[in-house]
Amino acid sequence: MTQDYLGNPIDSEREETRQAIDDFTGGVLTYQTRAENILVGADADPASVLANALAGLLMMFAESPQAPSLAARYLQRAWAAGPGIPRAERYTALLAAWSADDLPEALRLSEQLLEEHPRDLLAAKLNQYFEFNRGNAPAMLRIALKAVKGAEEVPQAYGMLAFAYEQCHLLEEAEAAARYALHLLPSEPWAQHALAHVLLTRGRIEEGTQFLEEASTGWQGLNSFMYTHNWWHLALFHLARGNDRRVLEIYDQHVWGIFPEYSQDQIGAVSLLARLEFAGIDVGPRWEALLPYLRERRADVVQPFLSLQYLYGLARAGQEEAGELLEALRQQARYAPDFSRAVWAEVTLPAAEGLYAHARGEYALAARRLGQALPRLGEIGGSHAQRDLFALIELDAQLRAGDWLAAQQALELRRRYDALDVPGNRHLEKVYAALGLPQEAARAARRVARVLGDR
């Protein structure tokens, strides 16, 4: 039987189809644009159930309300070409489940694929993607351990393992797995990404900055998500040390404008702009530049983690479409599928109302509503570093509302991870002055001066 480059069965003898399937599998695992070659391969080989199922999966990665309709032509073609080999049939069923928002079935099928084909790293990657989007880090780790066991020489398996460890707060294990992946392949972008998470969490800011600056020379061939996201991580390191000009340069050249129609590019831009403003940096007209793209998201409730950032971007730019999205989220909280309704109603909606209030200057309300959501925010998906945006917005609301006690507690807890964080220490100077603790205010000011004076 014909096999892909990892040794998994495929259903076509055509060299062009085999290459397209390899391009998709390898492109997804390495975040390269060659994954898109599956579309040409599927169109040229309507008899390949697998090629058409994979083409449909590519459409679903659009993460938009239109994605199921974009995937439908390939799903219909896969059904029409069947029955196929068991692996192709499983992928067709997985595509159907994802298109129907049947996440439990998509998870079951992706894990079954890996059980049947221990080197099917595409199935492992899909399973991690689904679990990541609902905040189930232990499940991500469980599937990654299986992937490494089946493909122990493949660096991407260790990249998946490293990120899963990091999301489980197992930082030593995460760093070891990431560095082993990079030993196998120094340019492995997901391992670079996982290591960036570890270094940021541990406050190893200078090390992280140098590591990502050097790694960035190899990011040109990546898809827009991985390209912009790794640059986003580098921006966080520079932001922590008050390198404001460099952060703006990264935003303008590498975070926004690469593929502005894409969900992940949009939320990366929203997140970084909000962090820049929290650090006291004037972002000029950059919010308005997002509007033509965010307006298209005014009814988008595909994923709670994404919708919250679309909402904040729209509200921050003062657009009425933010209210439309908030109403869509209220409807989703009532009518979402059983498996996800509680997350929409009990976590996403209060967070959305808090973000909306913050953007409108209603800071006390914003702090209350965000405070209700934050203890369970992991359930909406996203990484620790990404979700930290919402904690920062809550902190900003506390500062603007003059809740100095809550702000002091939050800022000092954050300083445990990075004692020299420039934006945090600038806020602490203000907080301690308001609390009548001038000595602590002076200490915070000296920490900022030390960092900025070292350059």
DSSP string, 35-95: GGHHHHHHHH-TT-HHHHHHHHHHHHTT-STTHHHHHHHHHHHHHHH-S--HHHHHHHHHH
172: pLDDT strictly greater than 90: yes
Above 70 in pLDDT, residue 411? yes
Q: Which residues contact 22 (CB under 8 A, 6 or more apart)?
A: 4, 5
CB 5 within 8 A of CB 131: no
Return the structure tokens found at 372. 């209700």
What does the pLDDT average to over 274-289? 96
Mean pLDDT of the chain: 97
Q: Supply the pLDDT for residue 365.
A: 97
pLDDT in the model for residue 431: 98
Which pLDDT score, from 0 to 100, does residue 88 have? 97
Can you give the pLDDT at residue 455? 59
- Residue 201: is its pLDDT beyond 80? yes
Instruction: Taking each helix axis as running N to C, give the angle between helix 404-415 and helix 422-434, from 0 to 180 degrees, rounded to the nearest 10.
Output: 150
Q: Distance (Å, rounded) from C-alpha 364 to C-alpha 331?
A: 25
State the pLDDT confidence band at 169, using cuts at 50, 70 and 90: very high
The pLDDT of 332-348, averaged and rounded, is: 95
57-100 per-position pLDDT tens digit: 999 999 999 999 999 999 999 999 979 899 999 999 999 999 99
pLDDT at 267 over 70: yes
pTM for this prediction? 0.96
